[in-house]
Structure 1
Amino acid sequence: MGTPEPSNDTTLRRGARRAPAGARTRRSSSARRSFTSTLTALDALSVAGAHVSLKVIDLDSGSVVLSGDEHVTLPVGGIGIVPLLIEVAARMESGSLDPFEIVDRASVDAVAVAGVWRHLKAPALPIVDLAVLAAATGDALAANALLDRVGLDAVRERLGSLGLRRTALLDRFRDERGPDDAPQVALSSPGELAELFAGLVNSDVVSAAVSTQVAEWLSLNEDLSLVASAMGLDPFAHDDDPGGLLFVNKTGRGDGVLAEAGVVAGPRAGVAYALLVGFDDLSVAHRLRAHDAFRTLGVDLMEYVH
């Protein structure tokens, strides 16, 4: 993968001082635009004390379009569903997991963090439908059911086999985390997440069939409130966008955590991206400022791919 020339490095600064972690951002000389709006928004977050890290990769050339503290590991919330889906798809392909195996909801500990299965009347669903719910709605109960079936150790081994050293699924989804529970659901870095999503759309993750299946599941994701809020997509039907935009993403949320990774491709270019923000979620204003930074990145990405 190409890296920007040193002369093109862009460093966000707070006055004469270096900005906090996450604000040191660079762009490649081949970028179609400067991403000035994104840099300004991320600088404002850093000045306010947020931890910001990101990476954007051009899918055609593999070059780095934009990056900042890409190796920093931060909580990613529901993005931890992605490695779980990879393990599920890999087992389906190998034949060791029957996609139509029925899972009884009563066999899974109740959790109300997110999702719709807990609201449905159907008391049991096949594994393949649980994968759809986990990808499309971030369904915590469906994700936990899948995790119970394949096992946390298997997901960790899969991550290791993919060379992802900064990405970890630590625990199941829980309504409350006690002292004996992992403090986060999942951790990752934007560098690894951007590379992972690039690998999914390029059919390089495990196998072409596994990559395609996981990308298809993720293309159903209904959370378009962050980066995708700038793209004008129908949150309930964007897997076949009439405008020809390819969009695959997964978001993650937690206390003071916003994260998104994905792929967007248009008529001129395609990119894989990941933006992770850890901030003091003290008020609606703090949260909206973080949301605005994701939307700003979405605007710049749209101008890059069109």
Structure 2
Amino acid sequence: MPRHRPAVDWPDLTVRRNAPPGRGTDAAVAWSVCVRDAGGEVVYAHRPELVLSTASVGKLLLLLEVARSLPLDLPADRRDVAPVADSGLWRFLGTDVLPVGDLAVLVASVSDNLATNVLLHRVGLDRVAALAASLGLTATALHDIVRDVRTADHAPRLSSGTAAELSLLLHRLPSIEGGPRVLDWMRTSADLSMVASAFDLDPLSHNGVTLRNKTGTDDGVRADVGVVTGPSTTVSYAVLANWPPESATVGEVLATMRALGDAIRVTVGK
């Protein structure tokens, strides 16, 4: 007999979770969400065509171009680019030179900013943009290198996208040139603070569902996109949230992202 699938309770994204007193259900958070089943059909969506800032999620396009076009044993030197802070490990390590494949793992696992800029130095933003266009992406893009200070002379945000495009990209990755390698790199992701928090996995050793995800974090931005496989099925998802930092809290955004993750967990049978 076919396995019984429980009803999925998707959260109402017009309701504020953990909202401070007096804010009621005022939807200060802009959400773009799209969840697809194993066949690529949409099973849940909320404003999936809304273009939002996606912070480091745009690094996925860089990883895909690297997987397609660079030898993974090619040495790359961090002294070729300006130092950059925030997320990453390479700036704390003693070696100036690492192979491209190791840099890709650093970007996938800890969103390493220095490794990102060194890889971009190798392939160039133009090639990443051309790849996005070849994949039919019209709203999803990596706009710039990572910068400690972003001024009016720079692109206003690192990356942007829609949940519809990103969830479809994740669904299609197994059949895209370089996509399987990117999925392997994504299995090392250590950021399980958003949608993926619902799966209760060890961030350093994922045992349970098979999860490949990439996240993005900035002031007023949280984004989590990925593919998760459980006992019942595989789901590709994109959950993007933007808000004016003074109008909402990270806690309420993360609570809603976990609620969406809970619904995905039920969907995949975990």
1:279 matches 2:252: no
Q: 1:82 aligns with which of 60, 65, 77?
A: 60
Tell me, what secondary structure is at the counterpart of 2:228? Answer: strand
Counterpart position of 1:214: 182
Unaligned runs of 5+ in 2: 18-24
Please list the CA deviations of residues 128-178 of structure 1 after superposition, one character each: whole Å capped at 9, or x if unmatched. 111110111000000010001000000000001111111111000011101
Counterpart position of 1:166: 139
| Identity between Structure 1 and Structure 2 (%) | 38
1:58 matches 2:37: yes
1:43 matches 2:15: yes
Q: How has the CA–CA distance of structure 1 residues 71 and 102 changed in structure 2, closer, same or farther, with 3 Å as cutoff?
A: same
Tell me, what secondary structure is at the counterpart of 1:260? Answer: strand
Please list the CA deviations of residues 21-72 of structure 1 after superposition, one character each: whole Å capped at 9, or x if unmatched. xxxxxxxxxx952424x22x5532672411111000011x332110011111
Tell me, what secondary structure is at the counterpart of 1:275? Answer: strand
Unaligned runs of 5+ in 1: 1-30, 92-96
Q: In structure 2, give the amino acid aligned to 1:252.
A: G
Query: What TM-score do the two structures reach when normalised by structure 2?
Result: 0.91
Cα separation, 2, equivalents of 1:173 and 1:113: 10
1:249 matches 2:249: no
Tell me, what secondary structure is at the counterpart of 1:217? Answer: helix
Tell me, what secondary structure is at the counterpart of 1:263? Answer: strand
Q: 1:296 aligns with which of 241, 259, 265?
A: 259
Cα separation, 1, equivalents of 2:98 and 2:107: 12
**Higher RCO (C-alpha under 8 Å, 6+ residues apart):** 2
Asked if 2 retains the 8 angstrom alpha-carbon contact of 1:265 and 1:305, the reply is yes
4+ residue stretches of structure 1 with deviation over 3 A? none
Asked if 1 retains the 8 angstrom alpha-carbon contact of 2:40 and 2:171, the reply is no
Please list the CA deviations of residues 247-267 of structure 1 after superposition, one character each: whole Å capped at 9, or x if unmatched. 110001111011111111111
Counterpart position of 1:129: 102
TM superposition shift of 1:216: 0.3
Counterpart position of 1:152: 125
Cα separation, 2, equivalents of 1:264 and 1:98: 28
Q: 2:175 aligns with which of 204, 211, 217?
A: 204
Asked if 2 retains the 8 angstrom alpha-carbon contact of 1:113 and 1:173, the reply is no
TM superposition shift of 1:117: 0.4
Cα separation, 2, equivalents of 1:72 and 1:261: 15
**How large is the Cα RMSD of the aligned pairs?**
1.6
Asked if 2 retains the 8 angstrom alpha-carbon contact of 1:113 and 1:174, the reply is no
Asked if 2 retains the 8 angstrom alpha-carbon contact of 1:250 and 1:261, the reply is yes
Counterpart position of 1:118: 91
Query: What TM-score do the two structures reach when normalised by structure 1?
Result: 0.81
Tell me, what secondary structure is at the counterpart of 1:258? Answer: strand
Counterpart position of 1:73: 51
